[in-house]
Amino acid sequence: DSGVTQTPKHLITATGQRVTLRCSPRSGDLSVYWYQQSLDQGLQFLIQYYNGEERAKGNILERFSAQQFPDLHSELNLSSLELGDSALYFCASSRSGMFTDTQYFGPGTRLTVL
Amino acid sequence: DQQVKQNSPSLSVQEGRISILNCDYTNSMFDYFLWYKKYPAEGPTFLISISSIKDKNEDGRFTVFLNKSAKHLSLHIVPSQPGDSAVYFCAARAAGNKLTFGGGTRVLVKP
Number of neighbours of residue B76 by Cβ within 10 angstroms: 16
CA A57 to mean position of chain CA atoms: 12
| Run of H or E including B54 | none
The SS3 assignment for B107 reads strand
**Is B42 close to A107, i.e. CB distance below 8 A?**
yes
CA B90 to mean position of chain CA atoms: 4
pLDDT, tens digit (0-9, with 9 covering 90-100), for A38-94: 876 678 889 999 999 998 888 789 999 999 999 999 999 999 999 999 999 999 999
A3 and B CB contact within 8 Å: no
Q: Are B57 and B48 in contact (CB under 8 A)?
A: yes
Residues of chain A in contact with residue B94, where contact means CB-CB under 8 angstroms, are 99
At A29, phi and psi to the nearest 5? -80, 135
Q: Nearest chain A residue to B87 by CA: give it.
A: A42
Q: Is the pLDDT of residue A100 over 70?
A: no
Count of CB contacts below 8 A, A vs B? Answer: 57
